[in-house]
């Protein structure tokens, strides 16, 4: 009887233990499959008061069957590695080794470290997700945008015929070029709803500009993944406040030695960069 009990105890112990390990590695779930993969160059001024603060990031738009995902290059690569690691049941150390090799030399700006899912959690809605200090945040909002189409103006971008459209969004006026030759009512950032893919969009003061760099049909099965973490619901305005606090926290990390940079010149540049990031894409 005692032996029976011991076996039962061991069985329950190991079952719970294995469930715990599996749970810890399932931090991403697949919610769609990429049909089209678009890359955009994102040129922006991180400091609204300085013409020397221009930065560039590469952004990815994955368009699936019923939703799309827009993220920076760091998120895009990290996401792929984590999903791969999960499928291969890698342990943490193996994941860290793979991640370090894959992300070496690749970095994104903190101001573009967000992910936008359109037509998620349901058609007509979108979520904007970001993180700070191991907390994950989510802004849920309707996708609807009011556009004014100008069919008289046209141009060609990457060989596609494009028409012009205008909108006002989150404190800025925007000019977009879209192509009906690519029948996707999507675009970079939160922009959507035109009768063709947005190939270029810029605010009228040319502070933020997204330009299509490439578009291709997915040649292999590439999942569109969502984090399974618990998100804290916030508004778009609260996101700006969180980002400002984040800059302060990172500034502190750099000053108190949690982060060290090889050269003093680079450190000074980094400190200045953290304090001067004020030109968020959305203005309130």
Partner 1 sequence: MKRIIKIGLLMIVLSIGSIITSDAREACNTVYFTCGNGSGGYGLVCFSGPMEYIVNCMEMQSVICSN
Do 148 and 177 form a contact (C-beta atoms < 8 A)? Answer: no
How far apart are the C-alpha atoms of 88 and 82, rounded to whole Å?
Answer: 10
**Sites for partner 1 among residues 14-53 (CB under 8 A):** 15-17, 19-20, 23-25, 27-28
Helix (H) or strand (E) holding 43: strand 36-45
Backbone φ and ψ of 29, nearest 5°: -125, 150
Our finding on whether 94 is near partner 1 (CB under 8 A) is no
Do 70 and 57 form a contact (C-beta atoms < 8 A)? Answer: no
Stretch that binds partner 1, among 62-70, 77-85, 167-175, 200-208 (CB under 8 A): 77-85
Q: Tell me the Cα Rg of the chain.
A: 22
Size of the site for partner 1 (CB under 8 A): 56
Task: Using alpha carbons, list the distances in angstroms from residue 172 to 51, 176, 279, 281.
Answer: 18, 13, 12, 8
Q: Which of 55, 140, 158, 222 is the binder for partner 1 (CB under 8 A)?
A: 55
Least distance between partner 1 and beta carbon 266 (Å): 6
Residue span 225-244 as binding mask against partner 1, x where in contact by CB under 8 A, dash where not: --x-x---------------
Contacts by residues 98-104 (CB-CB < 8 Å, ≥ 24 positions apart)? 102/77, 103/74, 103/77, 103/78
183 burial (CB, 10 Å; 0-12 / 13-18 / 19+) is exposed
Q: Which of 31, 58, 95, 145 is the binder for partner 1 (CB under 8 A)?
A: 95
Helix (H) or strand (E) holding 37: strand 36-45
Q: Which of 113, 143, 162, 176 is the binder for partner 1 (CB under 8 A)?
A: 113
Q: Which of 30, 74, 211, 222 is the binder for partner 1 (CB under 8 A)?
A: 74
Q: Which of 174, 274, 279, 280 is the binder for partner 1 (CB under 8 A)?
A: 274
Tell the residue number behind the tokens 């490439």, with chain if given: 214
83 or 166, CB closer to partner 1? Answer: 83
Stretch that binds partner 1, among 179-187, 203-211, 215-223, 264-272 (CB under 8 A): 264-272
Q: Which of 49, 51, 122, 134 is the binder for partner 1 (CB under 8 A)?
A: 134
Q: Which of 103, 127, 149, 234 is the binder for partner 1 (CB under 8 A)?
A: 103
How far apart are the C-alpha atoms of 236 and 283, rounded to whole Å?
Answer: 10
How far apart are the C-alpha atoms of 203 and 210, rounded to whole Å?
Answer: 10
Our finding on whether 157 is near partner 1 (CB under 8 A) is no
Stretch that binds partner 1, among 31-39, 184-192, 234-242, 256-264 (CB under 8 A): 256-264
**In 3D, which of 174, 162, 241 has the Cα closest to residue 205?**
174
Binding site for partner 1 (CB under 8 A): 1, 5, 8-9, 12-13, 15-17, 19-20, 23-25, 27-28, 55, 57, 74-75, 78, 82, 85, 92, 95-96, 99-100, 103-110, 113, 131, 134, 227, 229, 246, 250, 253-254, 258-263, 266, 269-270, 273-274
């Amino acid at each position: 009887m005692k032996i029976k009990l011991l076996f039962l105890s061991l069985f329950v112990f190991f079952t719970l233990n294995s469930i715990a390990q599996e749970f810890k590695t399932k931090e991403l779930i697949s919610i769609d499959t990429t049909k089209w993969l678009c890359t955009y160059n994102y040129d922006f001024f991180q400091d609204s008061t300085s013409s020397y603060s221009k930065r560039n990031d590469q952004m990815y738009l994955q368009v699936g069957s019923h939703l799309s995902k827009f993220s920076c290059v760091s998120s895009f690569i990290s996401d792929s590695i984590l999903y791969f690691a999960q499928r291969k049941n890698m342990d943490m150390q193996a994941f860290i080794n793979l991640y370090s090799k894959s992300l070496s030399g690749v970095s994104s700006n903190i101001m573009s470290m967000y992910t936008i899912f359109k037509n998620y959690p349901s058609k007509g809605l979108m979520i904007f997700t970001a993180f700070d200090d191991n907390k994950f945040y989510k802004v849920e909002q309707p996708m609807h945008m009011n556009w004014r189409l100008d069919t008289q103006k046209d141009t060609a971008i990457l060989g596609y015929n494009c028409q012009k459209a205008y909108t006002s969004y989150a404190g800025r006026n925007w000019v977009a070029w879209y192509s009906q030759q690519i029948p996707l009512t999507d675009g970079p950032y939160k922009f959507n709803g035109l009768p063709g893919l947005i190939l270029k969009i810029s605010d009228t003061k040319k502070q933020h500009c997204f330009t299509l760099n490439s578009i291709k049909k997915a040649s292999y099965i590439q999942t569109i993944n969502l984090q399974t973490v618990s998100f804290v619901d916030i508004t778009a305005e609260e996101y700006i406040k969180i980002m400002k606090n984040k800059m302060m926290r990172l500034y502190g990390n750099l000053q108190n030695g949690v982060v060290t940079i090889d050269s003093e010149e680079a450190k000074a540049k980094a400190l200045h960069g953290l304090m001067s990031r004020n030109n968020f894409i959305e203005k309130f």
